Amino acid sequence: MRVEPTDTTSAARSHAKARPAVVPFGANAVRLSAWQWVVAFVILWGIVAGIPRLWKIVERFDTGPDYRLPYALSTDYWLYQRRLRQITDPAAIVVLGDSVVWGEYVLPDGTLSHFLDRETDRRGRFVNGGVNGLFPLALEGLVHYFDGPLRHRRIILHCNLLWLTSPKADLSTEKEEPFNHARLVPQFFPRVPCYRADANERLSAVVEREVPFIAWVNHLQCAYFGQHSILGWTLADDGRDPPQYPNCYRFPLAQITFRVPTAPSEDPQRGPHSPRHKPWFADGNRPTHFDWVPLDTSLQWRAFQRLVNLLRQRGDDVLVVLGPFNEHMIAEDNRPAYRQLNDGVRSWLVQHHVSCVTPETLPSALYADASHPLTDGYALLARRLVEDAQFREWLAGPARLK
């Protein structure tokens, strides 16, 4: 039988014609045109910008005259900003500062803002704008990035010289040191010597400051997931040995209650019935020497100066309350160095025409440590402030707002 020869060249040409042409990136399921990319970007931007705004409507956030950011939410800067936006009374005065303003050892009704309300017979006039664990370098970042509502307002700014008691407290030591609110300090400039975060962490902190959506995500983590990401919350153990993982079978979204958690009404760590609420010398502590940092080399003092200027540039009428630091805790021969710093701060404030009040040191038994008063200490401090002529003049006079 004769087999006819086949034209392999013709067959190959026919097969080639039958195959589809190779398209660059042809593996993609969807290829968007330029116009479709614009639409997708607009939708994405709407989600990113809209969800945080919508969340403020659907999430319940209960506050009151003595409200302060709960201790567990100290790093929820998005919520802190939201709290400030709730202040609609133009006569309200925000008290800014660290844990001295917040009230480390006292309950919400034992803070400086509460007793200022009581002394002036106007409930809700003074707003507790303190944050636990804050310090000037972090407060500067908080005001710069999250305190947009603090414009054209009257502000009492507390100056705590605790942050100049050592290079470690000043964050100017070259040794790496962990500290609170690291995401608020300058990430690149000016340099914070003891801050050794890698580039990824620093960049993520910068993005969180600039993008409200990322700050809102951090709010979810703080408010509903114990400051963990959803994955971290799912894998978190209970701290026992052997460890248990109580969240591994829970539905994460069920954690979101659309209600901001509140501080416990009876805080075991704070208030007159707390074991921590006692004079600083109750456990045998004695006066000590502090390694004071000079003003001209202090990172914290420079940050405080920039903070004062920033607030005034925003049109705020600022009154600085300097101290009162617990001088009873300073060794006698170490007190002149402290008073020199105190005088230097006052001199700068006077030179720059910043209203300033320096209350006298409280009785020793009214301090819990080097700078935090106890409940009766805050009551006496508020009384002395209201009795101070310069404070009354600032309080009664017209706000010097731009």
pLDDT reported for residue 29: 64
pLDDT reported for residue 184: 95
Distance between CA atoms of 276 and 323, rounded to whole angstroms?
21
Distances (CA, A) of 200 to 169, 190, 203: 25, 18, 5
Are 319 and 156 in contact by the 8 Å Cβ rule? The answer is: yes
Residue 23 has pLDDT above 70, yes or no: no
Residue 19 has pLDDT above 90, yes or no: no
Q: Count Cβ atoms below 10 Å from residue 14 Cβ, excluding itself.
A: 10
Q: What residue has token string 């003003």?
A: 295
Phi-psi region of 307 (alpha: psi -120 to 50; beta: other; left: phi over 0): alpha
Average pLDDT, whole number, for the chain? 90
Residue 332 has pLDDT above 90, yes or no: yes
pLDDT reported for residue 28: 55
Residue 368 has pLDDT above 60, yes or no: yes
Indicate the pLDDT class of residue 24, thresholds 50, 70 and 90.
low
pLDDT in tens, 179-232: 999 999 999 989 999 999 999 999 999 999 888 899 999 999 999 999 898 889
Please compute the mean of the pLDDT values over residues 94-118 and round it to a whole number: 96
Higher-confidence residue of 242 and 374: namely 374
Distance between CA atoms of 31 and 25, rounded to whole angstroms?
9
pLDDT in tens, 346-359: 999 999 999 999 99
Distance between CA atoms of 378 and 158, rounded to whole angstroms?
13
Residue 8 has pLDDT above 80, yes or no: no
pLDDT reported for residue 393: 94
pLDDT reported for residue 149: 78
Residue 17 has pLDDT above 80, yes or no: no
Q: Pairing mode, if any, of strands 93-97 and 355-357?
A: unpaired
Out of 38-47, 271-280, 282-291, 327-336, pick the least confident: 38-47
Out of 61-65, 344-348, 357-361, pick the least confident: 61-65
Indicate the pLDDT class of residue 174, thresholds 50, 70 and 90.
very high
pLDDT reported for residue 390: 94
In the chain, domain spans: 59-396
Indicate the pLDDT class of residue 55, thresholds 50, 70 and 90.
very high
pLDDT reported for residue 18: 57
Q: Which fold has domain 59-396?
A: Rossmann fold (3.40.50)
Coil/strand/helix, residue 41: helix
Residue 135 has pLDDT above 70, yes or no: yes
Q: Count Cβ atoms below 10 Å from residue 227 Cβ, excluding itself.
A: 16
Please compute the mean of the pLDDT values over residues 115-143 and round it to a whole number: 94
**94 DSSP β-pair partners:** 127, 155
Residue 399 has pLDDT above 80, yes or no: no
Residue 105 has pLDDT above 60, yes or no: yes
Indicate the pLDDT class of residue 342, thresholds 50, 70 and 90.
very high
pLDDT reported for residue 20: 58
pLDDT reported for residue 15: 55
pTM score over 0.75 = yes
